[in-house]
Chain A
Amino acid sequence: MQDATHFQGLDPILKVENLVVEYAVGGKTIHAVSDVSLQIARGETLGLVGESGCGKSTLGRAVLQLRPAVSGQVLFDGEDLTALRGEALRRMRRRVQLIFQDPSASLNPRRRIGDIVAEPLVIAGYKDSRERQELVEEVLNAVGLDPALVTGRLPHEFSGWQCQRICVARALVLKPEFIICDEPVSALDVSIRAQILNLLEEMKGRYGLTLLFIAHDLAVVKAVSDRVAVMYLGRLCEVGPSEQLFANPAHPYTALLIEAIPVPDPDVRPSESVAIGEPPSPITPPSGCRFRTRCPRADQRCATEVPELRLVAPGQYAACHHPLA
């Protein structure tokens, strides 16, 4: 029986246990998240990486109880979020925030920035409008925006990366403990990404945050994460410390992802891609190991037995019957 926690954990702030999330689309069931367990330590950044359809965004939303889970538990600071309802759930939300991928779609086009950033305070019950204004100004300054120029305007007057800063400000105004970043830089230009990533790191240090950083770009994930978890078609393939995982991937999918990244060096000729075909549909995922249809190392056992996360190196776990040495 393997240790589902897979880290030498001190003080986990978040524990996800055997989470299963499915949803119905037009009569068919999509197995978005299938039996995922992970832990995040206080003050850590866990990167969650995978391609589209792997379920990482769904996992993020399910953790925040924005999507109902079929089974499993989500323990935040010891409290089971799946069992919370109504007012208790709303109170929990102040401690956990979410930053989205599309910055302009995350802001109500008909509300002013000042109102948008103050909204979490209003919902949390801060009655004094002057206090709210102070907190809003404080957080806008923290993300590098001048409140006087920003609060009276509407979202469409700002570009994508300015909107993302506003979203970060909104996420920080209640001084939460844990933030889930769902592809926060994917929609932004390359030269701006670095700014936002640096901003997130700075805010993390300043506010003492724990982050779950969801993205499909491995290099971006590696730049900000202490540990990385790789997901494929609803299951975790590999989890481990960033440096180690990218230097010595144990799961063939992780290796495939790393190989596929275009390297900005003309001497590095891109190798003919090893993967065969495309990810299968999450409606009918392959039996056993879900990656077996594209894996060069797959055999009969992979079709019949679901691989569990096993320790392959200190702190590194892979769910594979034939991990890379």
Chain B
Amino acid sequence: MSGSALLSVEDVAVDLPTPRGNLRAVDHVDLSVGAGRTLGIVGESGCGKTMLSRAILQLLPKKARLSGRVMFDGQDLARCDASALRKLRARSLAVVFQDPMTSLNPVLTIGTQLIETLQAHLELDTASARKRSVELLAAVGIPAPEQRLSQYPHQLSGGMRQRVAIAIALSCEPKLLIADEPTTALDVTVQAQILDLLAREQRRRHMAMILITHDLGVVAGRTDEVAVMYAGRVVERAPTTALFKTMRMPYTEALLAAIPKLEAAPHTPLPAISGRPPDPTRPLHGCSFSPRCRYVDGRCRQEKPALSDAESPDHQYACFHPIRIAVGGVT
């Protein structure tokens, strides 16, 4: 791992008790992000990526049990007390969620929400906080920022609301921004603008970012490193280019293949991944992907493959039969 990691997730596991038994939402995950770098976490619903982000932010539901360490800037967040966490939040650690309509308070004006955050964390007086809020709104590309301060979230479009949520997240100059599916609820043209905005702000502030998404297309051009999650575990982790060019996990390959491509002719049958997503309350003995994998054999069903970096320390994968050929070649 090059450089010192700003955030280091070490052997984190999250367990949730449910009526059907224990649900292991996150299964011993190791990740790290360096300052100024972007990590993409890719996975489908139920893979544990949202629980992982909550674990990092220490926003897990009360019933959840967390094990492992979440080292941020030298401190273990899991062992911090409430007041220490509060100091870290907004000033060092910020988050943007998927649905801006629920992450913004619908009964408070935009101005109130921004100014309150600034006053609470930076201890500015109202006038300076107000001035700074206008600057922030302008920086995220909202036209007529002065007027927006007195508007309510429902008066803005989805894209605008997400920009406001980003403005609030960036208001206290965090060192790490976690964006949990920030554009999933938005239109594709607005999505591009929001992702550009995030990239721009990140470069300007030399901020680390974790981009959580289910869309491989989103991570391809906008991240330095990608971690692919499946059934609560990281199954492949590599620098972005390496992941796409020399992917090793059959799941990653299948996921990429299942996305309809714009270049393909209409009515070409899509290579769907057979079977159904894993049931987290009933984990399998062997590899979680084995029921759906085309390269599966007996060993896969019995043993769980560990994350290994046999070839290069940067590229890790958890598979007994990794794909050996570069993508684009003959299988």
To the question of whether A and B form a pair in one complex, the answer is: yes
Looking at the assembled complex, report how far the CB atom of B100 sits from the nearest CB atom of chain A, in whole angstroms.
Answer: 13
Chain B residues with Cβ below 8 Å from A162 are 276
- Whether A243 and B220, one on each chain, are in contact in the complex, defined by CB atoms closer than 8 angstroms, is no
Chain B residues with Cβ below 8 Å from A218 are 188, 262
Chain B residues with Cβ below 8 Å from A265 are 220, 244
- Whether B272 and A262, one on each chain, are in contact in the complex, defined by CB atoms closer than 8 angstroms, is no
Q: With A51-B188, A189-B44, A275-B193 known to touch, is A194 a contact of B221 (CB < 8 Å)? A: no
From B158, B196, B267, contact of A270 by CB (8 A): B196
Stretch from A62-70, A99-107, A223-231, A300-308 forming part of the interface with B: A223-231
Looking at the assembled complex, report how far the CB atom of A229 sits from the nearest CB atom of chain B, in whole angstroms.
Answer: 14
- Whether B217 and A223, one on each chain, are in contact in the complex, defined by CB atoms closer than 8 angstroms, is no
Chain B residues with Cβ below 8 Å from A272 are 196
- Whether B189 and A256, one on each chain, are in contact in the complex, defined by CB atoms closer than 8 angstroms, is yes
- Whether A223 and B44, one on each chain, are in contact in the complex, defined by CB atoms closer than 8 angstroms, is no
Stretch from B30-38, B145-153, B251-259 forming part of the interface with A: B251-259
Q: Is B192 an interface residue (CB 8 A)?
A: yes
- Whether A198 and B272, one on each chain, are in contact in the complex, defined by CB atoms closer than 8 angstroms, is yes
From B143, B160, B221, contact of A268 by CB (8 A): B221
Q: Is A190 an interface residue (CB 8 A)?
A: yes
Question: Which B261-314 residues sit within 8 Å CB-CB of chain A?
Answer: 261-262, 264-274, 276-277
Q: Is B22 an interface residue (CB 8 A)?
A: no
Q: Is B159 an interface residue (CB 8 A)?
A: yes
Looking at the assembled complex, report how far the CB atom of A108 sits from the nearest CB atom of chain B, in whole angstroms.
Answer: 24
- Whether A191 and B262, one on each chain, are in contact in the complex, defined by CB atoms closer than 8 angstroms, is no
- Whether A266 and B244, one on each chain, are in contact in the complex, defined by CB atoms closer than 8 angstroms, is yes
> How far is A192 from B260 in the complex, measured between Cα atoms in Å?
12
Looking at the assembled complex, report how far the CB atom of B218 sits from the nearest CB atom of chain A, in whole angstroms.
Answer: 5
Query: What is the chain A residue whose CB lies nearest that of B239?
Result: A266
- Size class of A's contact patch? 35 or more
Query: What is the chain A residue whose CB lies nearest that of B159?
Result: A278
Q: Is A258 an interface residue (CB 8 A)?
A: yes
- Whether A223 and B268, one on each chain, are in contact in the complex, defined by CB atoms closer than 8 angstroms, is yes
Q: Is A263 an interface residue (CB 8 A)?
A: yes
Looking at the assembled complex, report how far the CB atom of B245 sits from the nearest CB atom of chain A, in whole angstroms.
Answer: 7
Q: With A52-B187, A224-B266 known to touch, is A262 a contact of B220 (CB < 8 Å)? A: yes
Q: Is B109 an interface residue (CB 8 A)?
A: no
Query: What is the chain A residue whose CB lies nearest that of B200?
Result: A272
From A190, A201, A269, contact of B215 by CB (8 A): A190
- Size class of B's contact patch? 35 or more
> How far is A268 from B221 in the complex, measured between Cα atoms in Å?
7
Q: Is A246 an interface residue (CB 8 A)?
A: yes
Chain A residues with Cβ below 8 Å from B274 are 195
Q: With A270-B221, A273-B193 known to touch, is A262 a contact of B215 (CB < 8 Å)? A: yes
Q: With A216-B187, A266-B240, A270-B221 known to touch, is A222 a contact of B193 (CB < 8 Å)? A: no
- Whether B260 and A194, one on each chain, are in contact in the complex, defined by CB atoms closer than 8 angstroms, is yes
From A52, A225, A259, A264, contact of B217 by CB (8 A): A264
Question: Which A32-66 residues sit within 8 Å CB-CB of chain B?
Answer: 51-52
Q: Is A122 an interface residue (CB 8 A)?
A: no
> How far is A5 from B193 in the complex, measured between Cα atoms in Å?
36
Q: Is A324 an interface residue (CB 8 A)?
A: no
- Whether A262 and B217, one on each chain, are in contact in the complex, defined by CB atoms closer than 8 angstroms, is yes
> How far is A195 from B254 in the complex, measured between Cα atoms in Å?
13
Q: With A256-B189, A264-B217, A273-B189 known to touch, is A192 a contact of B277 (CB < 8 Å)? A: yes
Q: Which 4 A-B pairs have the closest CB atoms?
A: A262-B217, A194-B272, A194-B270, A51-B187
Q: Could you list some 8 contacts between A and B, CB below 8 A?
A: A191-B255, A192-B273, A223-B260, A242-B266, A264-B216, A270-B195, A278-B190, A279-B187
Beyond A190-B258, A217-B188, 17 additional contacts (C-beta under 8 Å) are A52-B187, A162-B276, A190-B214, A192-B273, A197-B270, A197-B272, A201-B267, A259-B192, A260-B189, A261-B217, A262-B195, A262-B220, A263-B217, A263-B262, A270-B222, A275-B192, A275-B193
